[in-house]
Structure 1
Amino acid sequence: MTTATLHPAAAHATSTLRGPAVAHAPVPAPGWHEFPEFSVRPARRDDGPALAALSRPFAQAGALRERPLSLYLSRACDFLVAQAPDGTLEGCLGLREHPAAGVLYNFCVASHRQGTGMGARLLHAALARARTRGLATLFTATTGSGRLFLGHGFGPASPSRAPADWARSLDPARGARVLARSL
């Protein structure tokens, strides 16, 4: 089942150029796409294999570090997932808590869902989770443009400001940039 997601401003378009207002059929705003609905929820331990499978293409492309299935099983509670109506996981984002700060990691959205707003919804859910847990700052590392993070208030940060054990785990050969955001 698919439903059209419309930009809120497009939902009630009217014209008042000549005569009384005339209602028009809703028209999607540029950049909005029709796509199946999805829900964002906390991951469960039994999601471990699906998290690993979803992440594998990103690790193979060098965008994520390779992680063993055991990590996805043991840290499933770190993750938020985007789930399609058929139960398929199509996006995930981990939030690891450290004293006073959190680290976002393993952020991926299936290729057919990129550009649909799924990543932004996952990021908003992670920000809300971090706030409810009293974290003052969030950090992440990216080898890509970081455009989504930058658009949501993250900025370049020194790894020395980040949780020390996480900062030490960064692989300099990957050339990742550290980004941070205060909450």
Structure 2
Amino acid sequence: MTTATLPPAALPPQAPATRRRSAPAFSVRPAHAGDGPALAALSRPFARTGALRERPLSLYLSRASDFLVAHAPDGSLEGCLGLSEHAAGGVLYNFCVASHRQGSGMGGRLLQAAFARARGRAPAMLFTATTGSGRLFLSHGFVPSSPEQAPAAWAQTLDPGRNARVLARTL
């Protein structure tokens, strides 16, 4: 049997798994109402794959103040993370980073900004749900939890068919 391989020059360069890919700088800031359409557009590909729940544009418009956004120097949104407040703790939702920015540290910066924002508002716990590995959350101090420990109003909205894991972190 013969195996065809590409000559070395034709292979795309691969960064070592432990080294972050270089990418242009980005900034993190609170979202504003005008970011609603960009939040929806950024989130849409993740909803199509099932990584995020589908949310209407009206939600992004009405709850834009929940979000932190990461944007490129040209102003385009490349990452976002929502933080809703409940009496029983805060909930992180709709966390996404554009595919070309994954591995750049953008997700970690968004999480750190969310922690700082949550501390300023005094919820003792943060919760999130993920259908993925949760590796980034776990590396930032989240641990597996149960929906019963999370804010009831949020936990009741979890779709059992998505098999999402609930994670929690003490602030």
Give the TM-score, by structure 2 length: 0.89
Q: Pairwise CA RMSD of aligned residues?
A: 0.7
Report the equivalent of 1:38.
26
- CA distances 1:10-62 after superposition (whole Å, capped 9, x unpaired): xxxxxxxxxxxxxxxxxxxx503321100000000000000000000000000
**Following superposition, which runs of at least 4 residues in structure 1 exceed 2 angstroms of deviation?**
none
Contact map agreement 2:43 2:52 (CA 8 A) in 1: yes
Match of 2:111 among 96, 119, 123: 123
**Counterpart Cα distance in 1 of 2:109 and 2:87:** 25
Deviation at 1:100, TM superposition (A): 4.1
**Counterpart Cα distance in 2 of 1:51 and 1:104:** 15
Match of 1:110 among 83, 91, 98: 98
The amino acid that maps onto 1:171 is D
Report the equivalent of 1:152.
140
Report the equivalent of 1:166.
154
Aligned: 1:91 with 2:79? yes
**Counterpart Cα distance in 1 of 2:162 and 2:88:** 27
Unmatched runs of 5 consecutive residues or more in structure 1? 1-29
Percentage of identical aligned residues: 76
Contact map agreement 2:78 2:98 (CA 8 A) in 1: yes
**Counterpart Cα distance in 1 of 2:96 and 2:139:** 17
**Counterpart Cα distance in 2 of 1:121 and 1:85:** 16
Contact map agreement 1:100 1:134 (CA 8 A) in 2: no
Report the equivalent of 1:47.
35
Contact map agreement 2:40 2:57 (CA 8 A) in 1: yes
Match of 2:125 among 137, 140, 161: 137
Unmatched runs of 5 consecutive residues or more in structure 2? 1-17
Match of 1:75 among 53, 57, 63: 63
Please give the secondary structure, in 1, of the residue aligned with 2:34: helix
**Counterpart Cα distance in 1 of 2:58 and 2:20:** 37
Report the equivalent of 1:15.
none
- Higher gyration radius (CA): 1
The amino acid that maps onto 1:179 is L
**Counterpart Cα distance in 1 of 2:124 and 2:42:** 29
**Counterpart Cα distance in 2 of 1:143 and 1:100:** 22
Q: Specify which structure has the bigger relative contact order, considering alpha-carbon pairs within 8 angstroms and separated by 6 or more residues.
A: 2
Deviation at 1:158, TM superposition (A): 1.0
